[in-house]
Amino acid sequence: MKYLTLKEIKPFLLSALSGILLTLTFPEYNLEVFAWIAWIPLFLAIENATPQRAALLGFVTGMVFYNLGLSWINNTLINYGNLHWILSFAVLGLLSAYLSFFIALFCYFLRRVCVENRIQFFILAPVLWTSFEYLRSTHSKYGFSWLGLGYSQFQNLPVIQLAEWTGVYGISWLILLVNSGLYLSWRCWREQKQNPFELKEGWRILSVTLFVFSLWFVYGTQYLKETLSSTTNRPHIKVGLVQGNVEQFMKWNPIYQNQVIEKYKDLTLKAAKENPALIIWPETATPFYFEESKTETEMMRNLAREIKIPLLFGSPHRKKINGEQIYFNSAYLLSSSGETLNRYDKSHLVPFGEFVPFRKILFFIEKLVVMIGDFGRGTEATVMETAGNKAGISICYEMIFPDLMRQAVKNGANYLVNITNDAWFGKSAASYQHMSMGALRAVENRVPILRAANTGISGTIEATGKIRDKTDLFVKGFRITLIAPASNKKTFYSLNGDVFSWVCLLVTGLIAIAACTRNIKNEL
């Protein structure tokens, strides 16, 4: 039997190390400093590898990273989807493999195009990664931006401020630039004995890396200082966020319907004593179909009249379209006099939660949400007028999609509301990861975000990305919070979207064409 040598195993160990370091940068670990060095072990692993072997090593990094970082999916599928643990791990493995494919592709191109050219590596690595991360995140139906690299820095406020120009993908670009710069500098210093010129090149690369990072950091620091002084005197509105902490098994069980309603009613009456301009309930807070269940609907209208405060809440609704009953996950706004002012229908559905992707292949999986058939999709980025301002509404998973969230701001919203039910996640890192992504949405659009979650985390995200007034997980209560709605001025990102990522995609496409042309010439 032939045993693998340490030299043969080492690249795989280095690849796995990158996967572990990447995992540690995200909630709940929040060791975001590791993001700036996490890719270096992988770069060392693929140093002298063929493009094909580099792709394999990149795939290893991805499988370690995504299986660890998304391990909460097992909790959801086993405990709420009633899936056997073997099938649950298989689903997680398939998702991780799909996401790892992009890291594999990144490593393949890096070795194929750059070979040993360090300057090309330094310039192209951030561009290539940004392109691939953007592609995996933006598919209209199956896009998945969870664990996008830029989100790791949600607590590093100076670093994320430039997202108002570049979106979250610009933060990913910066992280790869720093990783590439540090790796190449160290490599040059390591090889200076063979070639003294390497030392000078190493210092040049490091200098550019530090210069770009410093400019980025200074911009963010200066913006935070100016914002602190300018927002003090701006008009604020007071909002109540209600967190019912309703267990998943209770939500649609008729036995518990009155108990759930009374819980939210009691919390709302307590929050109303603080005289907020708006009270927000979470996603599907009502255990009935609003405007269909007459008694319960009138109860909601009477509650709004009693407290004399507008109510924004999540409730499903259904209607027949072409003879078929279609369900929608919706948000309703009631006026202080109990009138229905507006409704928003969720447009980006949760895979396995509200529809089953690739149903023919994954025939053994049913949706987690107890409804017949897949949910319908809304078509508009609805803006609701309340408390003298305009709110852009999103439900649950929609908060992780930058382009989707900016549409409401582009349409006139000067603050955003996200209602969600994260009970599916249990006490796992998922709720923390979900909340952290909102920080980038706030910065990209320079608007505050209000978040009401059934089991947490509820809270406020300022336009700088700072998270405050947040609740703990799985506790019943409410938060009274103040926000300063944005002015009519829109950010570059709100108006134009992912221009930065499009440029990276264009450069990647040109690189691919150049590489193919070069290969054809070599063959001739």
Q: Known catalytic residues?
A: 283, 346, 396
Nearest to 407 by CA among 493, 477, 339, 478: 493
The strand pair at 389-395 and 383-386 is best described as: antiparallel
Helix axes 294-307, 257-272, angle to 10 degrees: 10
Per the CB < 8 A criterion, the answer to whether 160 and 148 are in contact is no
Residue 357 — φ and ψ, nearest 5°? -70, 150
Q: What are the angstrom distances between the C-alpha of 190 and each of 37, 177, 178, 184, 198?
A: 17, 20, 18, 10, 9
Nearest to 321 by CA among 382, 378, 360: 378
Cα(299)–Cα(305) distance, rounded to whole angstroms? 10
Q: Which two three-digit tokens encode residue 459?
A: 């809270």
Per the CB < 8 A criterion, the answer to whether 63 and 20 are in contact is no
List of E strands, 424-512: 449-453, 459-461, 467-468, 477-483
> Helices (H), strands (E): how many in the chain?
16, 12
Per the CB < 8 A criterion, the answer to whether 281 and 311 are in contact is yes
Containing 109, the helix (H) or strand (E) segment is helix 85-109
CB-based contacts of 459-465 (< 8 A; 24+ apart in sequence): 459/241, 459/435, 460/241, 463/227, 463/231, 464/157, 464/161, 464/223, 464/224, 464/227, 465/154, 465/157, 465/160, 465/161, 465/439, 465/440
Containing 24, the helix (H) or strand (E) segment is helix 6-24
Q: Which two three-digit tokens encode residue 501?
A: 């990522």
Cα(142)–Cα(357) distance, rounded to whole angstroms? 8
Amino acid at 7: K
Cα(177)–Cα(199) distance, rounded to whole angstroms? 19
Nearest to 32 by CA among 155, 125, 130, 147: 155
Residues in the chain: 524
